[in-house]
Amino acid sequence: MLYQIKQYLKFLKKSTNQHGIHSPFVYQLVTLCFYNKTKFKDYHTLKQYREKLYQNNTTISVTDFGAGSRVFRSDQRPISKIAKTAGITKKRARLLYRIANYFPINNALELGTSLGLATTALSLGNKNANILTIEGCPETAKIAKQQFDAFNLQNIDLKVNDFETELAKIKNKDFDLIYIDGNHQKEATLNYFETLLDNIHNDSVLIFDDIHWSPSMTEAWEEIKKHQKVTVTIDTFFWGFVCFRKEQEKEHFTIRV
């Protein structure tokens, strides 16, 4: 936690808003998407989805393949507490909804379904898109599937398996948007990035969650920024955006959202 506080203070000193952004692509993304104040009707559905999880006091056994939890000491966890402490926040769910709504997405991929809060934001944000989401824990995936069915989210394909196995099955399939919220460790993050280079095209956007989770995650983020195929990155502190637009000069942005 102390590391994250120090990183956030550094972020605040370095970050900016839309002013001074000379890239038309990034400027429009920030002004038309990041800072969009529209109160979309689907925000109410996102709220209902979250509240249903908050009301679920069932305890499940969680299988954690990543860096572990800083909140839970046991793998026996109440669904309501998982949603409140480990799920995507209300603010970020709305931002992810706007991102899915902003970009022309046919196929989206999510690594780390958990209880489906972020998945639902992607699904509602672009109802014409096909959302493939992968979750390693059978118990959390089961709850997510129940929620998807209850809210009639029909454009979601949930796979319960380890990421590596499922990614091997979709090698060379292009995705327009990829949201990575799974294993918060440097080696795993870099492996996912390298693997997913087979699944991107010129206009693909990758979003990495918790890029300042730990020193090793920040190191992974810095390595990703330097990759020769990466042209534009945006650090919003909690998420790192990666773009591959060949028509764009290589440039890195630090944006307050």
Q: Is residue 69 part of a domain?
A: no
Per DSSP, helices labelled H in the chain are 2-14, 24-29, 42-54, 79-85, 90-102, 117-125, 138-150, 163-169, 186-196, 215-226
Asked if the structure places residue 188 within a domain, the reply is yes
pLDDT at 257 over 50: yes
* Residue 195 domain flag: yes
What's the mean pLDDT when you consider all of the chain? 94
Q: What is the pLDDT of residues 129-164, one digit of tens each?
A: 999 999 999 999 999 999 999 999 999 999 999 999
| CATH number for the domain harbouring residue 151 | 3.40.50.150
Least confident of 42-46, 49-53, 170-174, 176-180: 170-174
Average pLDDT over residues 223-231: 98
Given this model, what pLDDT does residue 66 score? Answer: 55
pLDDT of 158: 98
User: What DSSP string runs through 222-253?
Assistant: HHHHH-TT--EEEE-SSEEEEE--TTSPPEEE
Q: Phi first, then psi: what are they for 67, rounded to 5°?
A: -80, 0
Q: Which of 91, 104, 10, 85 is nearest to 46 (CA)?
A: 91
What dihedral angle (degrees, nearest 10) is formed by the CA atoms of 228, 16, 47, 106? -30
pLDDT at site 86: 85
Please tell me the total count of domains within the chain.
1
Using DSSP, state whether 31 is helix, strand or coil: helix
Global confidence as pTM: 0.94
- What domain range includes position 44? 2-58+74-251
**pLDDT given at position 149:** 98
The answer to whether residue 178 is domain-embedded is yes
- Residue 145 is assigned to a structural domain of this protein: yes
Vertex 236: Cα angle to 62 and 206 (nearest 5): 65
Amino acid at 80: S
How far CA 43 is from CA of 37, 106, 117, 120, 137, in Å, comes to 12, 21, 12, 11, 27
In the predicted model, what is the mean pLDDT of residues 166-173? 94
The whole-number pLDDT of residue 75 equals 82
Q: What is the length of the chain?
A: 257
Q: Which long-range contacts (CB under 8 A, 24 or more apart) does 28-33 make?
A: 29/102, 29/234, 30/255, 32/102, 33/98, 33/99, 33/101, 33/102
In a domain, 111, yes or no: yes
Question: How much of the chain, in percent, has pLDDT values that exceed 70?
Answer: 96
- At residue 26, what is the residue type? V
- Residue 35's identity, in one-letter code, is Y
**How many CA atoms are closer than 13 Å to the CA of 65, on its beta-carbon side?**
20
Q: Is residue 143 part of a domain?
A: yes
Q: What local confidence, expressed as pLDDT, does residue 74 receive? A: 63
The pLDDT value recorded for residue 1 is: 79
CA dihedral angle for residue 210, residue 191, residue 97, residue 211, rounded to 10 degrees: 20
**Confidence band of 182 (pLDDT split at 50, 70, 90):** confident
pLDDT score recorded for residue 98? 98
Residue 20 has pLDDT above 90, yes or no: no
Can you give the pLDDT at residue 231?
A: 98
Quick check: 176 pLDDT over 60? yes
Looking at the DSSP bridge assignments, the partners of residue 156 are 131
Q: What is the pLDDT of residues 68-123, one digit of tens each?
A: 444 445 689 999 999 999 889 999 999 999 999 999 999 999 999 999 999 999 99
In a domain, 257, yes or no: no
Mean pLDDT, residues 166-183:
94
